[in-house]
Amino acid sequence: MTVEQVVRAQFGGPFEGFGTLRRRRSEIEYPQRPGDDIDVTEVPAAVTSAEQILEAARQLLPRLSLFR
């Protein structure tokens, strides 16, 4: 959760979807209510969000001299 908050605060934009994916993964991995399972209709949006996060990270990485 800390990584999510730091990345969102510093870079915003496409990284906003990271928290949603993280929370949803937790709900699926540790279900607490009936229905806390994967609905196939949510998969395309999750994949799109993950692709956007990865692309934003690829574009950001060359500008972060600490990680070169």
pLDDT at 30 over 70: yes
Average pLDDT over residues 15-44: 88
pLDDT at 14 over 90: no
pLDDT at 58 over 70: yes
Q: CA–CA separation, 47 vs 36, rounded Å?
A: 19
In angstroms, the Cα distances linking 31 to 1, 17, 40, 45, 55 are: 18, 21, 17, 21, 30
pLDDT confidence of 48, banded at 50, 70, 90? Answer: very high
pLDDT at 67 over 60: no
pLDDT of residue 68: 57
Token reading at 26: 């937790």
What percent of the chain has a predicted confidence (pLDDT) above 70?
97
Range of the domain at 6: 2-67
Total domains in the chain come to 1
